[in-house]
């Protein structure tokens, strides 16, 4: 719900409650005023009746009809102190066929030593009419308020919130790799101005941090390689001395670890580069040729691992992406299929113009499928692999708008990459 | 053979120098751009190893200068950067080979030998180890005029052994030379033994002595006295 709608809604709810209370109060005030007026009028009538009685007019205890109806004059046989009494009463209303609240004024008057009971009652306006009028007035006010509130809402959201919406749009369009901090326009509303300054400062900081991090990740990889090369070389020189087989084994293991470290830092650097969108130049990559070439160069390795590879490739599948990334992605996919295979296992490669599916036989996963693409998630924690391969694949496909899925069925692991932006797709659509 | 090693890291330099001097190379070194520039301008070398990241300039600049004055010198670029751009640029500028850190010293040595053969013997060098004759151009191996029928991998293995005579080479090192990084994906390295067994059998069948010694628990040594 938009802020302004919420604002108007709250405003209207409050208005409604206030108007409801105001209605009740209005009703009673109007009623009171009317009754007051009526009371004076009745008093006047009683005075007139008294005057007439003094003049000797005989009301004969009869009801007077016509304009002066609802008047009762009774001669009492006992003296009562002259007094006036005003009270509410319910009277049967002929036309409405129900009891109506009326005002009744009763007076005792002594005229020529005779006490008279004079009573008159009536209503200026029926209570229902008052309610009706009050409700009508309130509805008018309400209607105008709704129109006013919505109108104000439009003005506020259109004009007043303009700087806010502009800033919001800029934040939405903010891209880290453009390395341009957000510059918001000046506004004379302090809260928005504070927000703009804050957003500007924050994006500047984000960009600076991002740059630092990027440089660090790239430098770290480079700086790590030299010490690793030194350690590697020293150990190699050590193997030239007279080592016992046991000592040699330790040295070999250390050499292996150093090589693993080196690969790890290389892969991390690559991952960082992909994340930093450094591979944005794309070219048409012939995936079919890429796979054919790579299978040729892997052929001995496949044979050594005793694997059976069956391929079903569509001719000349062209995908638009960075050639280096295409190479990394395929190599990682294929190496994964080799590495996580079983003895005398199989690999199945199916390439269609819209997708690439590589399946391999293997043991079931010991980790959650969802975490498979996360960094350093390995099915076998003791394995020599560094656990970044699938993460790299995922990043490459995400960046190119591909969709990567994994499934395991009947001892077959399958990874499928759908080329959503592939050219062959585009051609078939057009 | 005279070598120039352009490398700013002292430890790494010592590793390279120790290994290569033991092989009988005359090695000089330069630790920064100016030193390297002066040396390539003043002397001639058979092979120059160039690290890309050096103080005072880029190794690629050294390479460019070297190529402008002397195209006969073999050049090998060493880089910690795995960046393909550097590799491509280095090779475009005329570098003969490219190695990324960390590299194996026997591998470096094998590359130096290969570059040397290409540059100075037109790839036509005959490597002679006693009765074994390796023609690096035709990739033929003869033992006293008997032509051996070797697979490409066996040939590669023999050349690698010949470049690193009398060094103990571990199974891992050999596997990495022959199959590169793919070795990481192999469950065991027994196939190295298979290749060595075949090579040894073929050499002996042709009448060569058994030069390939097994070093128990370590690897192999091509022993030539």
What CATH number does the domain containing B161 carry?
A: 1.10.10.10
Size of interface A-B (CB pairs under 8 A): 101
B104 and B18 together in one domain: yes
Token code pair at residue B7? 């490398």
With CA atoms as reference, the chain A residue closest to B189 would be: A304
B113 and B188 together in one domain: no
The answer to whether B163 and B113 are in contact (CB under 8 A) is: yes
Burial of A81 from C-beta contacts in 10 A (0-12 / 13-18 / 19+): exposed
List, for residues A342-363, the tens digit of each pLDDT value. Answer: 888 899 999 988 889 999 888 8
B88 and B192 together in one domain: no
Measured in whole angstroms, the distance separating CA A284 from the mean position of its chain's CA atoms is 39
B105 and B146 together in one domain: no
Q: Nearest by CB to B217, which of A230, A237, A249?
A: A249
Give the pLDDT of residue A55.
81
Task: Please tell me the distance in Å from A318's CA to the nearest CA on chain B.
Answer: 22
Token code pair at residue A286? 């012939």
Q: What mean pLDDT comes out for the span A263-278?
A: 78
B85 and B177 together in one domain: no
The number of distinct structural domains making up chain B is 2
- B182 and A262: CB-CB below 8 Å? no
Give the pLDDT of residue B34.
92
- A229 and B218: CB-CB below 8 Å? no
The answer to whether B182 and B136 are in contact (CB under 8 A) is: no
Looking at residue A285, the DSSP 8-state letter turns out to be E
CA pair distance B39, A321, nearest whole angstrom: 44
- Scanning A276-335 for CB atoms below 8 A from B yields 298, 300-301, 304-305, 324, 335
B83 and B130 together in one domain: no
Task: Please tell me the distance in Å from A339's CA to the nearest CA on chain B.
Answer: 5
Handedness of CA A221, A226, A227, A231 (dihedral sign): positive
Q: Kindly list the residues from chain B whose CB atom is less than 8 angstroms away from the CB atom of residue A294.
A: none
pLDDT-derived band at B53 (thresholds 50, 70, 90) equals confident
List, for residues B113-169, the tens digit of each pLDDT value. Answer: 888 888 776 656 788 888 888 887 788 888 888 888 888 889 989 988 988 888 888
Assess whether pLDDT exceeds 50 at residue B78. Answer: yes
The answer to whether B17 and B23 are in contact (CB under 8 A) is: no
Picking from A128, A122, A101, the residue whose alpha carbon sits closest to that of residue A27 is A128
Domain that residue B184 falls in = 126-222
Give the pLDDT of residue A31.
86
Q: What percentage of chain A carries pLDDT values higher than 70? A: 91
Cα-based torsion angle of the residue sequence A173, A178, A179, A180 in order, rounded to the nearest 10 degrees? -50
- Does the CB of B217 have a partner CB in chain A at under 8 Å? yes
Q: Kindly list the residues from chain A whose CB atom is less than 8 angstroms away from the CB atom of residue B191.
A: 304
- Does the CB of B189 have a partner CB in chain A at under 8 Å? no
**Between vectors from CA A136 to CA A133 and to CA A138, what angle results, nearest 5°?**
110
Q: Which of A218, A226, A322 to mutate to test the interface with B (most CBs of B within 10 A)?
A: A226
B213 and B194 together in one domain: yes
| CB-based contacts of B20, cutoff 8 Å, min separation 6 | B3, B5, B27, B109, B112
Give the pLDDT of residue A65.
46
What proportions of chain B, in percent to the nearest 5, are helix, strand and coil?
Answer: 45, 25, 30
| Element containing residue A276 per DSSP (H, E) | none
CA pair distance B159, B168, nearest whole angstrom: 15
Give the residue from B83, B102, B120 where a domain finishes: B120
Assess whether pLDDT exceeds 70 at residue B187. Answer: no
State how far the alpha carbon of B130 is from the alpha carbons of A41, A144, B142, B144, B185, in Å.
147, 112, 11, 9, 37
- A230 and B105: CB-CB below 8 Å? no
| Element containing residue A128 per DSSP (H, E) | helix A127-155
CA pair distance B108, A164, nearest whole angstrom: 63
CA pair distance A141, A145, nearest whole angstrom: 6
The answer to whether B167 and B213 are in contact (CB under 8 A) is: no
CA pair distance B104, B206, nearest whole angstrom: 32
The answer to whether A321 and A401 are in contact (CB under 8 A) is: no
Give the pLDDT of residue A385.
64
Q: Kindly list the residues from chain A whose CB atom is less than 8 angstroms away from the CB atom of residue B153.
A: 300
List, for residues A206-243, the tens digit of each pLDDT value. Answer: 888 888 887 787 777 777 888 888 898 888 888 878 88
| CB-based contacts of A93, cutoff 8 Å, min separation 6 | A99, A100, A126
- Does the CB of A385 have a partner CB in chain B at under 8 Å? yes
CA pair distance A208, A165, nearest whole angstrom: 26
Give the residue from B120, B155, B182 where a domain finishes: B120
| R_g over Cα of chain B | 18
- Does the CB of A127 have a partner CB in chain B at under 8 Å? no
Q: Mean pLDDT for chain A?
A: 81
Picking from A83, A66, A77, the residue whose alpha carbon sits closest to that of residue A118 is A83
| CB-based contacts of A141, cutoff 8 Å, min separation 6 | A19
Measured in whole angstroms, the distance separating CA A264 from the mean position of its chain's CA atoms is 39
The answer to whether A134 and A30 are in contact (CB under 8 A) is: yes
Picking from A246, A253, A237, the residue whose alpha carbon sits closest to that of residue B215 is A246
Give this complex's ipTM.
0.74
pLDDT higher at A50 or B91: A50
Task: Please tell me the distance in Å from A246's CA to the nearest CA on chain B.
Answer: 8
pLDDT-derived band at A24 (thresholds 50, 70, 90) equals very high
Q: What mean pLDDT comes out for the span A294-305?
A: 80
State how far the alpha carbon of A43 is from the alpha carbons of A38, A113, A114, in Å.
8, 21, 20
Measured in whole angstroms, the distance separating CA B202 from the mean position of its chain's CA atoms is 24
The answer to whether B171 and B192 are in contact (CB under 8 A) is: yes
Q: Kindly list the residues from chain B whose CB atom is less than 8 angstroms away from the CB atom of residue A233.
A: 11-12, 15-16, 19, 102, 105
CA pair distance A191, A416, nearest whole angstrom: 50
Picking from B185, B175, B192, the residue whose alpha carbon sits closest to that of residue A338 is B185
Picking from A135, A64, A128, A67, the residue whose alpha carbon sits closest to that of residue A98 is A128
Tell me yes or no: is domain A283-429 CATH 1.10.1660.10. Answer: no
- B104 and A236: CB-CB below 8 Å? yes
With CA atoms as reference, the chain A residue closest to B185 would be: A339
Token code pair at residue A17? 């409650």
B113 and B41 together in one domain: yes
Token code pair at residue A228? 């690793």
Q: Which of A233, A283, A297, A383 to mutate to test the interface with B (most CBs of B within 10 A)?
A: A233
Q: Kindly list the residues from chain B whose CB atom is less than 8 angstroms away from the CB atom of residue A242.
A: none
Give the pLDDT of residue A379.
59
Q: Give phi and psi for B58, each to the nearest 5.
A: -110, 150
Which DSSP string corresponds to A144-195? Answer: HHHHHHHHHHHHIIIIITHHHHHHHHHHHT--GGGT----PPP-S-HHHHHH
Looking at residue A417, the DSSP 8-state letter turns out to be E
Which DSSP string corresponds to A297-325? Answer: HHHHHHHHTT-EEEEEE-TT-EEEE-HHH
- The domain that holds B91 is classified in CATH as 3.40.50.2300
Q: Nearest by CB to A256, which of B82, B168, B172?
A: B172
The answer to whether A176 and A210 are in contact (CB under 8 A) is: yes
- A236 and B105: CB-CB below 8 Å? yes
List, for residues A51-107, the tens digit of each pLDDT value. Answer: 888 887 766 645 544 445 677 787 788 877 888 888 888 877 777 787 877 888 888
Q: Nearest by CB to B186, which of A263, A304, A324?
A: A304
Task: Please tell me the distance in Å from B83's CA to the nearest CA on chain A.
Answer: 9
| Residue in this structure with the two tokens 């049967």, named with its chain if needed | A92
- A335 and B9: CB-CB below 8 Å? no
Q: Kindly list the residues from chain B whose CB atom is less than 8 angstroms away from the CB atom of residue A248.
A: 168, 170, 217-218
B115 and B134 together in one domain: no
First-to-last CA distance in chain B? 21
The domains of chain A are located at: 3-148, 211-269, 283-429
B10 and B109 together in one domain: yes
* 3-state SS class at A286: strand
Looking at residue B199, the DSSP 8-state letter turns out to be H
Q: Which of B79, B82, B183 to mutate to test the interface with A (most CBs of A within 10 A)?
A: B82
B62 and B94 together in one domain: yes
Is this prediction's pTM over 0.80?
A: no
| Element containing residue A406 per DSSP (H, E) | strand A403-409
What is the per-residue burial (b if ≥16 Cβ within 10 Å, else e) of B2-28?
ebbbbbbbeebbbbbbbbbeebebebe
Number of residues in chain B: 225
pLDDT-derived band at B49 (thresholds 50, 70, 90) equals very high
- Does the CB of B21 have a partner CB in chain A at under 8 Å? no
- Scanning B46-105 for CB atoms below 8 A from A yields 53, 80-82, 84, 100-105
Would you tell me the crossing angle of helices A389-399 and A245-275 to the nearest 10 degrees? 10
CA pair distance A210, B49, nearest whole angstrom: 36
CB atoms within 10 A of CB A289: 14
């Amino acid at each position: 719900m938009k802020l302004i709608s919420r604002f108007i809604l709250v405003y209207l709810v409050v208005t409604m409650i206030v108007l409801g209370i105001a209605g009740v109060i209005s009703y009673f005030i109007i009623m009171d005023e009317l009754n007051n007026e009526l009371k004076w009028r009745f008093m006047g009538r009683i005075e007139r009746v008294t005057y007439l009685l003094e003049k000797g007019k005989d009301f004969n205890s009869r009801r007077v009809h016509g304009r002066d109806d609802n008047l009762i004059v009774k001669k009492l046989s006992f003296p009562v102190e002259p007094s006036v009494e005003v009270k509410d009463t319910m009277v049967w209303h002929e036309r409405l066929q129900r009891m109506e609240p009326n005002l009744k004024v009763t007076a005792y008057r002594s005229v020529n030593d005779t006490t008279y009971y004079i009573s008159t009652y009536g209503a200026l306006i029926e209570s229902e009419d008052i309610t009706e009028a009050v409700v009508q007035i309130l509805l008018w006010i309400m209607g105008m308020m709704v129109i006013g509130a919505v109108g104000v809402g439009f003005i506020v959201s259109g004009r007043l919130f303009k700087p806010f919406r502009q800033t919001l749009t800029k934040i939405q369009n903010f891209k880290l790799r453009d390395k341009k901090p957000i510059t918001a326009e000046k506004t004379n509303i302090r809260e928005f101005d504070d927000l703009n300054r804050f957003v500007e400062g924050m994006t500047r900081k984000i960009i600076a941090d991002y740059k630092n991090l990027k440089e660090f990740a790239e430098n770290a990889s480079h700086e790590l390689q030299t010490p690793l090369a030194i350690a590697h070389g020293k150990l190699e020189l050590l193997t030239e001395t007279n080592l016992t087989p046991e000592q040699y084994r330790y040295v070999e293991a250390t050499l292996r670890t150093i090589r693993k470290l080196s690969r790890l830092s290389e892969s991390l650097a690559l991952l960082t580069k992909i994340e930093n969108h450094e591979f944005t130049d794309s070219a048409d990559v012939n995936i079919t040729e890429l796979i054919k070439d790579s299978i040729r160069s892997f052929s001995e390795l496949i044979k050594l691992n005793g694997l059976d590879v069956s391929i079903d490739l569509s001719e000349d599948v062209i995908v638009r992406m960075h050639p280096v990334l295409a190479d990394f992605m395929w190599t990682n996919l294929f190496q994964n299929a080799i590495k996580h295979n079983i003895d005398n296992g199989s690999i199945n490669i199916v390439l269609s113009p819209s997708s690439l599916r590589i399946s391999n036989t293997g043991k079931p996963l010991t980790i959650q499928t969802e975490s498979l693409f996360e960094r350093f998630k390995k099915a076998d924690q003791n394995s020599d692999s560094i656990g970044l391969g699938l993460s790299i694949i995922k990043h490459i496909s995400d960046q190119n708008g591909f969709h990567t899925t994994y499934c395991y069925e009947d001892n077959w692991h399958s990874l499928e990459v759908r080329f959503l932006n592939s050219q062959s797709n585009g051609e078939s659509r057009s | 053979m005279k070598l120039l090693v352009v490398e700013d890291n002292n430890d790494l330099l010592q590793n390279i120098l120790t290994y290569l001097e033991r092989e009988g190379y005359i090695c000089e070194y330069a630790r920064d751009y100016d030193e390297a520039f002066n040396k390539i301008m003043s002397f001639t070398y058979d092979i120059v190893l160039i690290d890309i990241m050096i103080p005072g300039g880029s190794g690629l600049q050294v390479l460019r200068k070297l190529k402008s004055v002397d195209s006969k010198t073999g050049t090998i670029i060493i880089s910690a950067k795995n960046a393909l751009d550097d590799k491509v640029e280095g090779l475009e500028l005329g570098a003969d080979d490219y190695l990324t850190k960390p590299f194996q010293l026997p591998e470096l040595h094998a590359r130096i030998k290969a570059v040397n053969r290409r540059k100075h013997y037109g790839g036509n060098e005959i490597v002679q180890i006693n009765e074994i004759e390796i023609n690096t151009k035709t990739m033929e191996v003869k033992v006293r005029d008997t032509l051996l029928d070797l697979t490409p991998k066996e040939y590669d293995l023999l050349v690698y052994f010949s470049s690193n005579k009398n060094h103990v080479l571990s199974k891992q090192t050999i596997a990495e030379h022959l199959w590169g990084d793919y070795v990481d994906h192999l469950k065991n390295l027994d196939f190295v033994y298979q290749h060595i067994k075949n090579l040894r059998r073929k050499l002996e069948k042709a009448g060569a002595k058994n030069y390939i010694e097994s070093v128990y628990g370590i690897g192999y040594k091509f022993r030539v006295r």
